[in-house]
Amino acid sequence: MDSRMRIGELSARTGVSIRSLRYYEQRGLLTSTRTTGAHRLYNADAVARVRLLRQLFDAGLSSETIAALLPCVDTPSEDITVETLEVMRNERERIDAQISALLTTRDHLDALMARAADHLTRQRGDALAATA
């Protein structure tokens, strides 16, 4: 039994659009073979690869940055350079800054929600007192 899948199946299994999968392949982030009818075929490990790509894109990494990091995923050995490690460090610092900013925003939102809840409680209390 052939464990390869066509692009539609890969799309369905990963939740990533066919258009995005074609883009990943065009950028060298994903590979496929072709049938005699020119249909793309992907190995079963493409599912994990696409999920990793989605995580990296969702974290804000560019396709160029991802392409620079993939050799570390594929063969973490001689392909790792000082520059690649520096790219990873920079991306981690950027993500840490985003996390910090999000936590600050969440704290502000928590404070706003507490004030809004207090306001509603006072409004309800005033309304109840007026009807008594």
pLDDT tens readout for residues 11-66: 999 999 999 999 999 999 999 988 888 889 999 999 999 999 999 999 999 999 99
Q: How large is the average pLDDT for residues 71-85?
A: 74
What whole-number distance in Å separates Cα of residue 68 and Cα of residue 80? 10
What whole-number distance in Å separates Cα of residue 90 and Cα of residue 118? 42
Cβ 50 vs Cβ 17: under 8 Å: no
Query: Which tokens go with 61?
Result: 């990494």
Q: What is the pTM of this model?
A: 0.73
Query: Which tokens go with 108?
Result: 């502000």
The pLDDT value recorded for residue 2 is 60
Query: Which segment of 36-40, 66-70, 81-85, 95-99 scores lowest on mean pLDDT?
Result: 81-85
The pLDDT value recorded for residue 132 is 62
